[in-house]
Amino acid sequence: MAAPAQPVAITGAEELEAGHSLWQDAWLRLRKNKLAVGGGVFILVLALASFLSPLIAPHSYDTQNLALGATSPSGQHWLGTDDLGRDLLSRILYGGRISLSVGLAATLVAVVIGVLYGTISGYFGGRVDVLMMRIVDILFSLPFIIFVILLMVIYGRNIYLLFLAIGAVEWLDMSRIVRGQVLSLKKQEFIEAAQALGLRRRRIILRHMIPNVLGIVIIYGTLIVPRVMLTEAFLSFLGFGVQPPMSSWGTLISEGARSMEEFPWLLIFPGLAFSSTLFSLNFVGDGLRDALDVRASKD
């Protein structure tokens, strides 16, 4: 044969060499990032505690004890009680359940819509792309808080509607980011090679496009979560979020702010829970960006 073989001979029965996927490489890099790992662990613990709150909360979140009233932190109530005598720790745990699930669910909605919309817009290009992106521009220019408030007014306060409404607003950024990625990916030779092979469009999008935009999607996904939680807190603060006696961190902070001069712990602890979660999420997001960034990956 004319081709001089590579130095490695083919002997057949040799052991297969294991490869490292880019995902594995990214995971190794992420593990070295102490802030990101710390943030991730913190969020996991908090999420676990929140979702198990019916089991581990020391008190019921809505049992009132008017005789007790607002008390500062004590052995009985670790984080104190509010003016209706409800245990603050329990309320924070239950509130975390709402805040975190709004964060995750709305982000999921935003990611799914954003990825599909952005991929279609970028992949088909041309007029389709121009039209789809102008629609995004128009939606961007609408004052979305009014949109959410309108929804709330028309359909009543409904936690699932809240997920949907926030998600339906947050996908705009995601779709633009994904579209940009798809546009640059489309020019890559491996996409052309897949076309030259005669693969179906569906397969090209699912196997070749989406796995290669997923890194960016994950990064921006983790950064959407805190934004969504802030929005929820904001809406709850305005009174459009969850209904009492249920609480979210937003409502707790809003209640705490009202009485912060007399009972500062009612503002401090929910605020602490909320801001440390936001910090952690941002650390994880930054860590993921460093770990997944294609430019940082070895060639």
Partner 1 sequence: MSEPFLELKEVRTHFPVEHGILFRHRVGTVRAVDGVSLRLQRGEVLGLVGESGCGKSTLGRTILQLLPPTEGAVILAGKNLAELRGGALREARADFQMVFQDPYASLNPRMTVFDTLAEAIGAHKQVPSAEMPARVAALMEKVGLSRRFVKKYPHEFSGGQRQRIAIARALAVEPKLIVADEPVSALDVSIQAQIINLLAGLSREMRLTLIFISHDLSVVKHISDRIAVMYLGKIVESGPAAGVFEKPLHPYTKALISAVAIPDPEREKKRQRIILSGDPPSPLRPPSGCAFHPRCPDANADCSRVTPPLEEFQTGREVACLRAREIS
Q: Is 21 helix (H, G, I), strand (E, B) or coil?
A: coil
Provide the token pair at 232. Answer: 């929820």
Instruction: Specify the stretch interacting with partner 1 by CB under 8 A; choose among 7-15, 31-39, 75-83, 92-100.
Output: 7-15
Cβ at position 201, least distance to partner 1 in Å:
9
Interatomic CA distance for residues 195 and 189, integer angstroms: 10
- Residue 2 lies near partner 1 (rule: CB under 8 A): yes
* Residues 31-90 within binding reach of partner 1 (CB under 8 A): none
Nearest residue (CB) to partner 1, 11 versus 261: 11
- Residue 244 lies near partner 1 (rule: CB under 8 A): no
Interatomic CA distance for residues 58 and 89, integer angstroms: 8
**Phi, psi (deg, nearest 5) at residue 81:** -130, 160
- Residue 141 lies near partner 1 (rule: CB under 8 A): no
Nearest residue (CB) to partner 1, 198 versus 244: 198
Q: How far is CA 137 from the centre of its chain?
A: 23
- Residue 262 lies near partner 1 (rule: CB under 8 A): no
Q: Is 81 helix (H, G, I), strand (E, B) or coil?
A: strand
Nearest residue (CB) to partner 1, 15 versus 262: 15
- Residue 299 lies near partner 1 (rule: CB under 8 A): yes
Cβ at position 174, least distance to partner 1 in Å:
20
Interatomic CA distance for residues 146 and 143, integer angstroms: 6
Site size for partner 1 (CB under 8 A): 41
Nearest residue (CB) to partner 1, 212 versus 222: 212
Q: Is 137 helix (H, G, I), strand (E, B) or coil?
A: helix
Cβ-count burial of 196 within 10 angstroms (0-12 exposed, 13-18 middle, 19+ buried)? exposed
- Residue 138 lies near partner 1 (rule: CB under 8 A): no
User: Cβ–Cβ contacts within 10 Å for residue 283, how many?
Assistant: 21
Interatomic CA distance for residues 36 and 26, integer angstroms: 13
C-alpha dihedral sign at 74, 79, 84, 90: negative
- Residue 135 lies near partner 1 (rule: CB under 8 A): no
* Residues 154-213 within binding reach of partner 1 (CB under 8 A): 188-190, 192-200, 207-208, 211-212
Cβ at position 290, least distance to partner 1 in Å:
18
Give the residues lining the site for partner 1 (CB under 8 A). 1-6, 8-10, 12, 14-23, 130, 134, 188-190, 192-200, 207-208, 211-212, 297-299
